[in-house]
Amino acid sequence: MAPPPVRCAAVVVGAGPAGLAVMGNLLERQLGGQIAWVDPYFQAGRVNRRYREVPSNTKVSLFQSYAQAVQPFRNVINSTPTPNAFSTMTKLDQNKGCHLSYAADMCRALTDGLLKLDQVYKCQGIVTAADLKNSSGWTVRIKTQNSLEEIEVVSPRLILCTGSSPTLLQIPVPGLSIRRLDLDVVLKPSELVTALPKGCSLTVAVVGGSHSAIVALMNLVDLARTSHPQLRVKWFTRHPLRYAEYMDGWILRDNTGLKGEAADFAREQLEDDRLPKSDAGRVIEKVDCSGGKDAAAYQAHLPSCTHIVQAVGFTRDPLPELTRNGAPLTPEFDHESGAFSDQNGQIIKGLYGAGIAFPERVVDPYNNVEYAVGFFKFMKFLKRVCPAWIAA
């Protein structure tokens, strides 16, 4: 017989940086009941699993600000014996980026601390479905890793921090025999070195011009300098390199411009006046795809490539099956409030989202619209919207 449903004040799905920040904010506000936290791993999400070797586009000081932003986090830091992930972070240059391993370790330490609290009901597994019953709130079905049966949690609030994965587009030249390289692998040098065969001519197509594309180019150039001297790269890009610019009290292209190591590499090695003479230019051939030239450029250059990696953004991971009184829901996210509406434009009661899958929309002083993705950006958004989530 299935166990009776567990009643909780909220259900938080996901234990990456956004899910962790949600937990910190909800715990700080003391909802008056346990918070169910659902994740298959509880190890800082995709940042820890896939991106530990990636140089951040965030300054160390902002990771520190994230870790100090709510009292439950500060309690964990103060009760963790040193040396630890937090004390390690304080020794880094606060005005520079760092490898994401430091930020991931910080999140794992905060997660471990929160999981010890009586107010946290740990559910190691995945949410398979959630039904909104008008009288009783959400009934959330969770398939746990250590049990064949599902458990049910009933709660007035369901918060989705379910993450995103690299976007995969169709190969631009139909019928072409070319191997896909997973962006996550290319961003992880320790895995990339064994993912590509040695001792033969290889040409990797890199598509994109954002932070992840530039880090991919950095890693492939390093490989060509060391273990794979016959490796060459064709870099397909539509627009000039874009950098974050530090204005008076704000950052232009804060979410879309290059920062940190990636920006340094791009400025020194990849700009049109630098590439022909740079170390990277010995490995990389830039293919201009601007102004509608992309189809012709792909037709001309892709057939000579052995592999392709697409660094063209991230796509929201699939959500659990969401219903209201058994009828399917198609949730539409409100990037201002963190709430959702249904297919008829009606607010879905008690459903919220945050993180890379559900980011805040921000407008800069020049009226540029961006989506705010980053540890401290998630935290700032949640500090603003969580009071309304709780009051509702």
Delimit the domains of the chain by residue range.
6-165+315-391, 168-312
Q: How far apart are CA 38 and CA 122, in angstroms?
A: 7
Question: What Cα–Cα distance (Å) separates residue 221 from each residue in 40, 214, 215, 218, 232?
Answer: 35, 10, 10, 5, 8
80 and 72 in contact (C-beta within 8 Å)? no
Left if phi > 0, otherwise alpha if psi is -120 to 50, otherwise beta: which for 357? alpha
Token pair in block for residue 139: 């009934």
pLDDT at 1: 62
CA torsion sign, 276 to 278 to 282 to 287?
negative
Name the stretches of the chain with pLDDT < 70: 1-2
**pLDDT digits over 114-128, tens only?**
999 999 999 999 999
- pLDDT 10s digits, 337-377: 999 999 999 999 999 999 999 999 999 999 999 999 999 99
Do residues 214 and 261 make contact, with C-beta atoms less than 8 angstroms apart? no
Q: 6-165+315-391 and 168-312: same fold?
A: yes
Contact yes or no for 123/12 (Cβ under 8 A) = no
pLDDT of residue 32: 86
Identify the CA nearest to 37 among candidates 17, 13, 21: 13
- Dihedral class, residue 281 (left if φ above 0, else alpha if ψ from -120 to 50, else beta): alpha
CA distance 115 to 127: 18
CB-CB contact of 45 with 17 (8 Å)? yes
CATH class of 168-312: alpha beta
CATH number of 6-165+315-391: 3.50.50.60
